[in-house]
């Protein structure tokens, strides 16, 4: 296999490093920025290309779309038309424009697609999935999910104002950036049927996107889910609480435990992660899974069909915030 990494920013370089560690195949890369190309060449010893068409002319079997969100669909379409299987970083896009065309193109060519949602491969989320599958807390009534981190701390080596997160035109904003939470909670609990949201730029951050969002989802099961997202918390926060008829599940990424309360025992049980868990490991596990998909040994955890459904929820949240209406999916 030969992999083409389109976009040599932080996530692109992470995938290059993990693919090399896994010895998955040959790697080439494209980026329009010379500094990003030179850094990838120097750090990983790979060949890079200034023009995407020149990179695609090398006939890679698989393309990784790691560019700003607004460029995902154009770049994915170019790669798909060249016959590349696709790994597209989250979210699938910043709008639905071109999404159906991409779906049709990949289906027509029988291409494997996957949208990168690495939180599904975090051991805490995986543990919650197993507990729910065993019905440890019975029928789920509701959940609270949150993610927050001060945007300038995301990539401290660069000016946050220049990144896609800070720019509406590039597909930024915490709702699309924080789509991991929408993805994993609907993966755990089922599809959403209604969305309502309040969002705004509340902080002095120099961005033209929303920095805070409160999203309320009504799931098809009837459960109600609260999702809090922000760019403003000075201490990194990521947590989940799921409330069931027969118990409660709690998870906090900083606590490194999943905790289960059961009405059967009237006690809390703690499931601990590895104390020195390296967060890159979930990206490695994600990559192992994708390689197995390319080998025909597994089905993608989230293909572009599922990626479209998650994007629809995020866009509905934006629409709700703008209109003040509940949006039906």
**pLDDT at residue 6, rounded to an integer:** 98
The answer to whether the CB of 203 falls within 8 A of the CB of 211 is: yes
The structural domains of the chain, ordered by start, are 2-111 (3.40.50.720), 127-328 (3.30.360.10)
Which 8-state DSSP code applies to residue 161?
A: G
pLDDT at 276: 83
Reading the block at residue 294, the tokens are 């390319």
pLDDT of 289 reads: 98
pLDDT confidence of residue 285 = 97
What pLDDT is recorded for position 312?
98
Instruction: Tell me the Ramachandran region of residue 302: left when phi exceeds 0, alpha when psi lies from -120 to 50, beta otherwise.
Output: beta
**How do residues 35-64 score in pLDDT, each as one tens digit?**
999 999 999 999 999 999 999 999 999 999
Q: Alpha-carbon distance 115 to 187, whole Å?
A: 13
Read off φ and ψ for residue 231, nearest 5 degrees. Answer: -100, 10
Q: What is the pLDDT of residues 218-246, one digit of tens each?
A: 999 999 999 999 999 999 999 999 999 99
The whole-angstrom separation of Cα 92 and Cα 305 is 10
Please, is 104 exposed, middle or buried when counting C-beta atoms within 10 Å of its C-beta (0-12, 13-18, 19+)? Answer: exposed
Residue-wise pLDDT tens digits, 74-96? 999 999 999 999 999 999 999 99
Residues of the chain under the 70 pLDDT cut = none
């Amino acid at each position: 296999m030969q992999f083409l990494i389109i976009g040599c920013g932080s996530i692109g370089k992470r995938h290059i490093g993990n693919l090399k560690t896994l010895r998955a195949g040959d790697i080439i890369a494209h980026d329009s920025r010379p500094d990003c190309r030179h850094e990838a060449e120097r750090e990983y010893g790979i060949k890079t290309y200034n023009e995407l068409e020149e990179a695609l002319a090398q006939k890679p079997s698989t393309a990784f779309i790691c560019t700003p969100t607004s460029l995902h669909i154009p770049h994915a379409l170019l790669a798909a038309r060249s016959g590349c299987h696709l790994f597209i970083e989250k979210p699938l896009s910043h709008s639905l424009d071109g999404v159906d065309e991409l779906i049709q193109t990949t289906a027509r060519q029988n291409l494997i697609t996957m949208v990168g949602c690495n939180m599904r491969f975090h051991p805490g989320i995986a543990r919650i999935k197993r507990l729910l599958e065993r019905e440890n807390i019975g029928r789920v009534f509701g959940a609270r999910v949150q993610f927050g981190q001060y945007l300038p701390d995301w990539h401290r080596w660069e000016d946050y104002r220049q990144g896609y997160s800070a720019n509406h035109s590039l597909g930024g904003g915490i709702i699309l950036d924080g789509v991991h939470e929408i993805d994993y909670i609907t993966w755990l609990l089922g599809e959403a049927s209604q969305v309502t949201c309040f969002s705004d730029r509340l902080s002095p951050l120099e961005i033209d996107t929303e920095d805070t969002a409160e999203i309320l989802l009504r799931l098809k099961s009837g459960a109600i889910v609260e999702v809090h997202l922000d760019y403003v918390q000075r201490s990194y926060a990521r947590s989940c609480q799921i409330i069931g008829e027969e118990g409660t599940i709690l998870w906090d990424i900083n606590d490194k435990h999943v905790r289960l309360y059961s009405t059967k025992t009237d006690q809390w049980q703690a499931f601990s992660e590895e104390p020195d868990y390296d967060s890159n490991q979930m990206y490695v596990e994600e990559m192992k899974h994708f390689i197995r998909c390319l080998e025909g040994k597994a089905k993608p955890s989230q293909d572009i069909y599922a990626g479209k459904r998650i994007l629809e929820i995020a866009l509905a949240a934006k629409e709700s915030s703008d209109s003040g209406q509940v949006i039906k999916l």
